[in-house]
Structure 1
Amino acid sequence: MGVMAPTYDHPGELAAADPVRLLAVRDTPLSVDEVFSAVGDHAAGGTALFVGTVRDHDGGAGVRGLGYSAHPTAEAELRRVAEKVAADFPVRALAAVHRVGDLEIGDLAVVVAVSCPHRAEAFEACRRLIDDLKREVPIWKHQVFQDGTEEWVGA
Protein backbone atom coordinates (compact mmCIF):
# COMPACT_ATOMS: atom_id res chain seq x y z
CA MET A 1 0.00 0.00 0.00
CA GLY A 2 1.55 3.32 -1.12
CA VAL A 3 1.60 6.58 0.74
CA MET A 4 -1.50 8.62 0.03
CA ALA A 5 -0.58 12.05 -1.31
CA PRO A 6 -2.24 14.86 0.67
CA THR A 7 -4.58 17.24 -1.09
CA TYR A 8 -4.10 21.00 -0.96
CA ASP A 9 -6.39 23.97 -1.54
CA HIS A 10 -3.73 26.28 -2.94
CA PRO A 11 -1.55 25.72 -6.03
CA GLY A 12 1.56 26.90 -4.16
CA GLU A 13 1.16 23.92 -1.85
CA LEU A 14 1.66 21.43 -4.65
CA ALA A 15 4.88 19.72 -5.61
CA ALA A 16 6.87 21.27 -8.43
CA ALA A 17 6.69 19.59 -11.84
CA ASP A 18 10.41 18.77 -11.76
CA PRO A 19 11.69 19.25 -8.19
CA VAL A 20 15.01 17.40 -8.53
CA ARG A 21 17.44 20.28 -8.98
CA LEU A 22 20.88 18.90 -8.12
CA LEU A 23 22.19 15.36 -7.69
CA ALA A 24 25.87 14.42 -7.68
CA VAL A 25 28.46 12.00 -6.42
CA ARG A 26 31.76 13.87 -6.68
CA ASP A 27 35.38 13.78 -5.60
CA THR A 28 35.64 17.52 -4.93
CA PRO A 29 34.71 19.40 -1.73
CA LEU A 30 30.99 19.91 -1.15
CA SER A 31 29.29 23.27 -0.64
CA VAL A 32 26.34 23.87 1.68
CA ASP A 33 25.70 27.14 -0.20
CA GLU A 34 25.46 25.32 -3.55
CA VAL A 35 22.91 22.82 -2.21
CA PHE A 36 20.89 25.46 -0.34
CA SER A 37 20.78 27.68 -3.44
CA ALA A 38 19.62 24.76 -5.57
CA VAL A 39 16.47 24.28 -3.49
CA GLY A 40 15.38 27.91 -3.38
CA ASP A 41 11.74 28.22 -4.43
CA HIS A 42 9.30 31.11 -3.86
CA ALA A 43 6.42 28.66 -3.22
CA ALA A 44 8.34 26.92 -0.42
CA GLY A 45 7.61 27.93 3.15
CA GLY A 46 10.11 25.47 4.62
CA THR A 47 13.56 24.26 3.68
CA ALA A 48 15.34 21.50 5.57
CA LEU A 49 19.05 20.89 5.10
CA PHE A 50 21.21 18.07 6.42
CA VAL A 51 25.01 18.11 6.43
CA GLY A 52 26.97 14.96 7.23
CA THR A 53 30.57 15.51 8.33
CA VAL A 54 33.50 13.24 9.04
CA ARG A 55 33.76 12.85 12.81
CA ASP A 56 36.84 11.94 14.85
CA HIS A 57 35.35 8.80 16.40
CA ASP A 58 33.02 5.90 15.68
CA GLY A 59 31.80 3.29 18.12
CA GLY A 60 34.17 4.52 20.81
CA ALA A 61 37.28 4.32 18.61
CA GLY A 62 39.23 7.33 17.36
CA VAL A 63 39.03 7.86 13.60
CA ARG A 64 42.12 9.12 11.73
CA GLY A 65 40.40 9.52 8.35
CA LEU A 66 38.19 7.80 5.85
CA GLY A 67 37.45 7.32 2.22
CA TYR A 68 34.22 6.86 0.32
CA SER A 69 33.88 4.65 -2.76
CA ALA A 70 30.85 4.51 -5.05
CA HIS A 71 29.53 1.91 -7.44
CA PRO A 72 29.15 3.19 -11.04
CA THR A 73 25.34 3.08 -10.55
CA ALA A 74 25.44 5.38 -7.49
CA GLU A 75 24.16 8.50 -9.27
CA ALA A 76 21.34 6.56 -10.95
CA GLU A 77 20.35 5.10 -7.58
CA LEU A 78 20.54 8.55 -6.01
CA ARG A 79 18.14 9.80 -8.70
CA ARG A 80 15.75 6.90 -8.00
CA VAL A 81 15.79 7.68 -4.26
CA ALA A 82 15.29 11.42 -4.90
CA GLU A 83 12.40 10.85 -7.29
CA LYS A 84 10.68 8.56 -4.77
CA VAL A 85 10.95 11.23 -2.05
CA ALA A 86 9.62 13.84 -4.49
CA ALA A 87 6.69 11.55 -5.32
CA ASP A 88 5.81 10.95 -1.65
CA PHE A 89 5.95 14.58 -0.46
CA PRO A 90 4.92 17.97 -1.94
CA VAL A 91 8.54 18.78 -2.80
CA ARG A 92 9.18 22.13 -4.46
CA ALA A 93 12.91 21.47 -4.83
CA LEU A 94 15.39 18.78 -3.80
CA ALA A 95 19.18 18.46 -3.93
CA ALA A 96 21.70 15.86 -2.76
CA VAL A 97 25.46 15.59 -3.17
CA HIS A 98 27.80 12.96 -1.73
CA ARG A 99 31.57 13.05 -1.64
CA VAL A 100 33.85 10.20 -2.67
CA GLY A 101 37.59 9.83 -2.20
CA ASP A 102 39.76 10.45 0.87
CA LEU A 103 38.34 12.83 3.46
CA GLU A 104 39.75 14.44 6.59
CA ILE A 105 38.10 14.91 9.97
CA GLY A 106 35.58 17.77 9.64
CA ASP A 107 35.13 17.46 5.86
CA LEU A 108 31.61 17.46 4.45
CA ALA A 109 30.65 13.94 3.33
CA VAL A 110 27.04 14.53 2.25
CA VAL A 111 24.70 17.51 1.91
CA VAL A 112 20.98 17.14 1.18
CA ALA A 113 18.18 19.69 1.18
CA VAL A 114 14.47 19.74 0.47
CA SER A 115 12.05 22.64 0.19
CA CYS A 116 8.31 22.15 0.59
CA PRO A 117 5.29 24.39 1.15
CA HIS A 118 5.46 23.80 4.95
CA ARG A 119 8.22 23.03 7.47
CA ALA A 120 6.85 19.69 8.68
CA GLU A 121 6.86 18.30 5.14
CA ALA A 122 10.34 19.67 4.52
CA PHE A 123 11.70 18.00 7.68
CA GLU A 124 10.04 14.68 6.86
CA ALA A 125 11.15 14.71 3.23
CA CYS A 126 14.73 15.64 4.13
CA ARG A 127 14.87 12.88 6.76
CA ARG A 128 13.58 10.34 4.25
CA LEU A 129 16.05 11.55 1.62
CA ILE A 130 19.15 11.15 3.81
CA ASP A 131 17.93 7.88 5.36
CA ASP A 132 17.14 6.31 1.97
CA LEU A 133 20.36 7.63 0.45
CA LYS A 134 22.43 6.00 3.22
CA ARG A 135 20.44 2.74 3.03
CA GLU A 136 20.02 2.34 -0.76
CA VAL A 137 22.69 4.24 -2.70
CA PRO A 138 25.82 2.08 -3.22
CA ILE A 139 28.41 4.28 -1.51
CA TRP A 140 30.78 2.64 0.95
CA LYS A 141 32.88 4.11 3.74
CA HIS A 142 36.38 2.86 4.57
CA GLN A 143 37.42 4.09 8.02
CA VAL A 144 40.96 4.12 9.36
CA PHE A 145 41.15 4.22 13.14
CA GLN A 146 43.80 5.83 15.35
CA ASP A 147 45.10 2.38 16.35
CA GLY A 148 45.73 1.46 12.70
CA THR A 149 42.76 -0.88 12.30
CA GLU A 150 40.35 -0.40 9.40
CA GLU A 151 36.67 -1.01 8.74
CA TRP A 152 34.36 -0.95 5.71
CA VAL A 153 30.87 0.39 6.41
CA GLY A 154 27.92 -0.22 4.09
CA ALA A 155 29.78 -2.73 1.90
Structure 2
Amino acid sequence: MPTMEDTNMGSFIVFQGKVRNHSENGEVQAIEYSAYEELALSQLRKIVQETEEKYSVTVYAAHRIGRLNVGETALVVATLSSHRQEGFLATMEIIDRIKKEVPIWKKEILTDGRAVWL
Protein backbone atom coordinates (compact mmCIF):
# COMPACT_ATOMS: atom_id res chain seq x y z
CA MET A 1 0.00 0.00 0.00
CA PRO A 2 1.44 3.40 -0.96
CA THR A 3 2.31 5.87 1.77
CA MET A 4 3.05 9.59 1.87
CA GLU A 5 6.72 8.77 1.31
CA ASP A 6 6.03 6.69 -1.84
CA THR A 7 7.74 8.49 -4.72
CA ASN A 8 5.33 6.86 -7.20
CA MET A 9 2.57 9.02 -5.76
CA GLY A 10 2.56 12.41 -7.49
CA SER A 11 -0.77 13.65 -6.15
CA PHE A 12 -2.10 14.18 -2.63
CA ILE A 13 -5.64 15.51 -2.48
CA VAL A 14 -7.39 16.46 0.77
CA PHE A 15 -11.09 17.29 1.08
CA GLN A 16 -12.63 18.73 4.24
CA GLY A 17 -16.40 18.91 4.54
CA LYS A 18 -17.32 21.61 7.06
CA VAL A 19 -20.56 22.59 8.76
CA ARG A 20 -22.08 25.54 6.89
CA ASN A 21 -23.88 28.42 8.57
CA HIS A 22 -27.00 28.05 6.42
CA SER A 23 -29.29 25.55 4.73
CA GLU A 24 -32.65 25.57 3.02
CA ASN A 25 -34.14 25.33 6.54
CA GLY A 26 -32.57 28.55 7.81
CA GLU A 27 -29.49 29.77 9.67
CA VAL A 28 -27.52 26.84 11.13
CA GLN A 29 -25.89 26.92 14.55
CA ALA A 30 -24.67 23.30 14.63
CA ILE A 31 -25.27 19.81 13.27
CA GLU A 32 -25.63 16.69 15.39
CA TYR A 33 -24.40 13.59 13.55
CA SER A 34 -25.39 10.14 14.74
CA ALA A 35 -24.68 6.70 13.35
CA TYR A 36 -24.95 3.00 13.86
CA GLU A 37 -21.19 3.00 14.30
CA GLU A 38 -20.38 -0.64 13.60
CA LEU A 39 -22.33 -0.65 10.34
CA ALA A 40 -21.10 2.82 9.36
CA LEU A 41 -17.44 1.83 9.84
CA SER A 42 -17.96 -1.40 7.92
CA GLN A 43 -19.60 0.42 5.03
CA LEU A 44 -16.95 3.16 5.03
CA ARG A 45 -14.18 0.54 4.85
CA LYS A 46 -15.96 -1.20 1.97
CA ILE A 47 -16.29 2.05 0.02
CA VAL A 48 -12.63 2.91 0.58
CA GLN A 49 -11.44 -0.55 -0.48
CA GLU A 50 -13.58 -0.59 -3.62
CA THR A 51 -12.45 2.90 -4.61
CA GLU A 52 -8.79 2.11 -3.98
CA GLU A 53 -9.04 -0.94 -6.23
CA LYS A 54 -10.98 0.88 -8.96
CA TYR A 55 -8.59 3.86 -9.22
CA SER A 56 -5.29 2.38 -7.92
CA VAL A 57 -5.12 4.99 -5.16
CA THR A 58 -4.75 5.04 -1.40
CA VAL A 59 -7.57 6.70 0.54
CA TYR A 60 -7.94 7.78 4.15
CA ALA A 61 -11.49 8.79 5.10
CA ALA A 62 -13.18 9.72 8.37
CA HIS A 63 -16.56 11.17 9.30
CA ARG A 64 -17.15 12.60 12.76
CA ILE A 65 -20.25 12.01 14.83
CA GLY A 66 -21.67 14.08 17.65
CA ARG A 67 -22.39 17.81 17.76
CA LEU A 68 -20.34 19.99 15.43
CA ASN A 69 -20.62 23.76 15.34
CA VAL A 70 -20.50 25.91 12.22
CA GLY A 71 -17.01 25.85 10.73
CA GLU A 72 -16.00 22.52 12.24
CA THR A 73 -14.88 19.68 9.98
CA ALA A 74 -17.33 16.78 9.65
CA LEU A 75 -15.66 14.75 6.87
CA VAL A 76 -12.07 14.31 5.73
CA VAL A 77 -10.99 12.39 2.65
CA ALA A 78 -7.30 12.25 1.71
CA THR A 79 -6.29 10.52 -1.51
CA LEU A 80 -2.82 9.54 -2.72
CA SER A 81 -2.49 8.77 -6.42
CA SER A 82 0.08 8.61 -9.18
CA HIS A 83 -1.70 11.39 -11.08
CA ARG A 84 -4.25 14.03 -10.12
CA GLN A 85 -7.04 12.85 -12.43
CA GLU A 86 -7.64 9.52 -10.72
CA GLY A 87 -7.09 11.19 -7.36
CA PHE A 88 -9.84 13.75 -7.97
CA LEU A 89 -12.20 11.12 -9.43
CA ALA A 90 -11.62 8.80 -6.48
CA THR A 91 -12.08 11.60 -3.95
CA MET A 92 -15.37 12.73 -5.50
CA GLU A 93 -16.65 9.15 -5.68
CA ILE A 94 -15.80 8.49 -2.03
CA ILE A 95 -17.61 11.65 -0.90
CA ASP A 96 -20.70 10.87 -2.96
CA ARG A 97 -20.83 7.26 -1.78
CA ILE A 98 -20.36 8.21 1.88
CA LYS A 99 -23.31 10.61 1.65
CA LYS A 100 -25.50 7.96 -0.03
CA GLU A 101 -24.41 4.67 1.54
CA VAL A 102 -23.03 5.18 5.04
CA PRO A 103 -25.70 5.20 7.78
CA ILE A 104 -24.89 8.58 9.28
CA TRP A 105 -27.83 10.84 10.12
CA LYS A 106 -27.77 14.53 10.80
CA LYS A 107 -29.96 16.94 12.68
CA GLU A 108 -29.57 20.64 12.00
CA ILE A 109 -29.75 22.88 15.05
CA LEU A 110 -30.98 26.23 13.79
CA THR A 111 -30.40 29.61 15.37
CA ASP A 112 -34.16 30.11 15.78
CA GLY A 113 -34.30 27.13 18.16
CA ARG A 114 -35.70 24.57 15.71
CA ALA A 115 -34.07 21.20 15.06
CA VAL A 116 -34.54 19.55 11.66
CA TRP A 117 -33.62 15.96 10.79
CA LEU A 118 -32.18 15.57 7.31
Counterpart-to-counterpart distance in 2, 1:138 and 1:42: 36
SS in 2 for 1:144: strand
Identity of aligned residues (%): 37
Tell me: higher relative CO, structure 1 or 2? Use CA pairs within 8 A at least 6 residues apart. Answer: 2
1:88 match = 54
5+ unaligned residues in a row in structure 2: which ranges? none
TM-score in terms of structure 1 length: 0.70
> Deviation at 1:105?
0.9
> Deviation at 1:67?
0.7
Counterpart-to-counterpart distance in 1, 2:14 and 2:94: 10
TM-score in terms of structure 2 length: 0.91
CA RMSD of aligned residues (A): 1.4
Counterpart-to-counterpart distance in 2, 1:71 and 1:89: 28
> Deviation at 1:90?
1.4
Counterpart-to-counterpart distance in 2, 1:65 and 1:101: 10
5+ unaligned residues in a row in structure 1: which ranges? 1-15, 20-38
1:11 match = none
Counterpart-to-counterpart distance in 2, 1:113 and 1:130: 11
- The question of 1:104 aligning with 2:104 is answered no
Counterpart-to-counterpart distance in 1, 2:25 and 2:64: 24
> Deviation at 1:42?
2.2
State which structure, 1 or 2, has the greater radius of gyration over its C-alpha atoms: 1
> Deviation at 1:60?
6.0
Number of equivalences: 116
Letter of the 1:47 counterpart: F
1:10 match = none
